Structure 1
Amino acid sequence: MTGAQRIKIRHLVPSIVTVFAICAGLTSVRMSLEGRLEASLYFILLAVFLDAADGKLARFLDSASPFGAELDSLADFFNFGIAPGILLFNTLYIGTEHANLGWLATLVLAVCCALRLARFNLSIQRPDVTLKKDGFFVGVPAPALACLALMPVFLHLNGWGDTDLPVARTIYIIGVGLLAVSTIPTYSIKHASIKRAHLPFAVVGAVVLVVSLVSYPWPTLIVANIMYLGSLPVSYLASK
């Protein structure tokens, strides 16, 4: 590449958004280390939003590139594999007799996220390896993995998870990590469709969801996680 060659600004926009997502994940880690639990969760949710935005921008601006894909994969590993694990460990395990269990759950979560993203990178290069099929993802995608793994923290914030069940909690987190590297078909929202007659109901539902997230974020996310987990058997049968 010669010095005279130029890069269009629109080609940089998705990567800049991805960098902002990395900054959100890093800030989430700082907030969790400082004991600011809700702020840490908000920054992870911001990273989820930015992760969705950078892909949309890349397609809209026709600026997808191998560099952007690799950067996005690295951001996803940190934001959805490492940051949630640190938050879980600092909130529920550190300073207790079950710290080793918590660290095990943190390690498994991070490793499963890395393995899924490695498989995703391979699917870009090889047509015989795919993580999408007929409107379904193969396994739980990384943003959903983070939200599912943080369920114990959502319960803790609502006072529903104060009962000390460290072994059950650890098994749940490890199970969620395994869902990410599984071959279970999961619904893909980006490929979902509805009948035109149902459009008003979808709009009203979206408004209710946004208002609920703003007013009651943690109960709403608990319900969303339960519905997502409940959809897994349905998506498996539908894919057949």
Structure 2
Amino acid sequence: MHNPAPKAQFTTTPSVNGQAHKPRLRLVYVWPNLFTAANMFMGLLAIYWVIDEAQGLLQDRLEWACWFILIGGFFDMFDGAIARLTHTQSEFGVQFDSLSDLVTFGVAPSVAAFYLMQGMGIEHRRVVICICALFCICSALRLARYNVQVKGPERRGFIGLPTPGAALAITFLVLLIRRYDLNMSETVLFSLGESKLLLKNLVVFFMPVVVLGIALLMVSEVPYPKLSEHLRIKRRMSFDTLVYLIVFVLILMALKSELRVVTAFLMIYAYILYGLTVYLMQLAKARREKALLPHA
């Protein structure tokens, strides 16, 4: 994400017949916005790939769509970093970044989740549509709130679950279900074992609840820490942090692909539950302290 920056430079063209033309953008910083455009492109590819599989044109496109969303997340990290390192932040970049995030982290994950839930035989189609649409709407609201609050309380942390984090939670959930074939028919799953059939029934029940909960967390007041602040991933990184990061990456590379997905899934949901748990504990503490105060 782009950090807040000075407004983009505008200029006014010479007047013609005494009337000045509308102001136009004088300079658009190319490199950061190329990465932002690549982020949006990955989100669009993810949507197209889901549509291809839904129409029966190509098989196994849903998993590719999930990977496109994840690749878009890497582009989203790099556009802001490049803008900061090259001092090319702009208001244009901030707005363009939010639009790209809405496509990649709002629309694409909800389309993937909707297609998967429909294929798993989840009833009440209208409810599923409303939940997935709500995820998109909450993503847009979350991004808009970030843009107007970025200079205030969100400088050292996030208010509400960040949109990329919500997208990762949905994407890894979809990947996990597809990797373990939990979207197959009940007849096929029963032939593979009753445990898989039971697991699918649990997923069918809980997946709409999870998508709804993550959508609401984006527009909640639950504070979430900025991992970059805690890991000090800036221009200069501490030696210990660098060593831990290298070891972590090597461990991930050594794992099988299924275990990588499981590890990433557990990490992102641990982050979500951590913020929610801390928030609930703070609320409970505040209520206890309020109850101990003498009544006026």
Give the TM-score of the pair, scaled to structure 2.
0.69
Q: Go from structure 1 to structure 2 and tell me whether the alpha carbon gap of 1:212 and 1:192 turns closer, same or farther (over 3 Å shift).
A: farther
Matched, 1:32 2:50: yes
- Aligned counterparts of 2:251 and 2:120: Cα–Cα separation in 1: 39
**Following TM superposition, by how much is the alpha carbon of 1:169 offset from its aligned partner in structure 2, in angstroms?**
1.4
Q: Is the 8 A contact 1:152 1:161 kept in 2?
A: no
- Aligned counterparts of 2:276 and 2:112: Cα–Cα separation in 1: 29
Corresponding residue SS for 1:182: coil
- Aligned counterparts of 1:212 and 1:61: Cα–Cα separation in 2: 36
**Residue aligning to 1:226:** 269
Q: Is the 8 A contact 2:50 2:62 kept in 1?
A: yes
Q: Go from structure 1 to structure 2 and tell me whether the alpha carbon gap of 1:58 and 1:171 turns closer, same or farther (over 3 Å shift).
A: same
> Which blocks of at least 5 consecutive residues in structure 1 are unaligned?
none
Corresponding residue SS for 1:132: coil
Q: Which moved more, 1:176-185 or 1:56-65?
A: 176-185
**Residue aligning to 2:8:** none
**Residue aligning to 1:103:** 129
**Following TM superposition, by how much is the alpha carbon of 1:131 offset from its aligned partner in structure 2, in angstroms?**
2.5
Corresponding residue SS for 1:14: helix
- Aligned counterparts of 1:199 and 1:56: Cα–Cα separation in 2: 17
**Residue aligning to 2:154:** 131
Q: Go from structure 1 to structure 2 and tell me whether the alpha carbon gap of 1:105 and 1:217 turns closer, same or farther (over 3 Å shift).
A: farther
Q: Is the 8 A contact 2:66 2:175 kept in 1?
A: no
- Aligned counterparts of 1:60 and 1:114: Cα–Cα separation in 2: 27
Equivalence map 1:38-187=2 (5 Å): 38-93=63-118, 96=121, 97-124=123-150, 127=151, 129-133=152-156, 136-159=157-180, 161-162=182-183, 163-165=200-202, 166-187=204-225
Q: Go from structure 1 to structure 2 and tell me whether the alpha carbon gap of 1:147 and 1:12 turns closer, same or farther (over 3 Å shift).
A: same
Q: Which moved more, 1:175-184 or 1:213-222?
A: 213-222
Q: Is the 8 A contact 1:101 1:167 kept in 2?
A: no
1:177-232 deviation line (CA, Å, top 9, x unaligned): 11111121212111114775565334312332355486744223222223223422
Q: Go from structure 1 to structure 2 and tell me whether the alpha carbon gap of 1:187 and 1:235 turns closer, same or farther (over 3 Å shift).
A: farther
> Which blocks of at least 5 consecutive residues in structure 2 are unaligned?
1-10, 14-24, 54-60, 184-199, 233-237, 286-296
Q: Larger C-alpha radius of gyration, 1 or 2?
A: 2
Q: Go from structure 1 to structure 2 and tell me whether the alpha carbon gap of 1:61 and 1:199 turns closer, same or farther (over 3 Å shift).
A: closer
Q: Which moved more, 1:153-162 or 1:33-42?
A: 153-162
Q: Is the 8 A contact 1:21 1:47 kept in 2?
A: yes
- Aligned counterparts of 1:62 and 1:213: Cα–Cα separation in 2: 40
- Aligned counterparts of 1:59 and 1:221: Cα–Cα separation in 2: 27
Q: Is the 8 A contact 1:25 1:83 kept in 2?
A: yes
Q: Is the 8 A contact 1:105 1:173 kept in 2?
A: yes
- Aligned counterparts of 1:213 and 1:111: Cα–Cα separation in 2: 36
**Percent of aligned pairs sharing the same letter:** 26
Q: Which moved more, 1:208-217 or 1:137-146?
A: 208-217
Corresponding residue SS for 1:172: helix
The aligned amino acid for 2:211 is I
Greater helix content: 1
Number of aligned positions between the proteins: 232
- Aligned counterparts of 1:94 and 1:147: Cα–Cα separation in 2: 21
Q: Go from structure 1 to structure 2 and tell me whether the alpha carbon gap of 1:70 and 1:212 turns closer, same or farther (over 3 Å shift).
A: farther
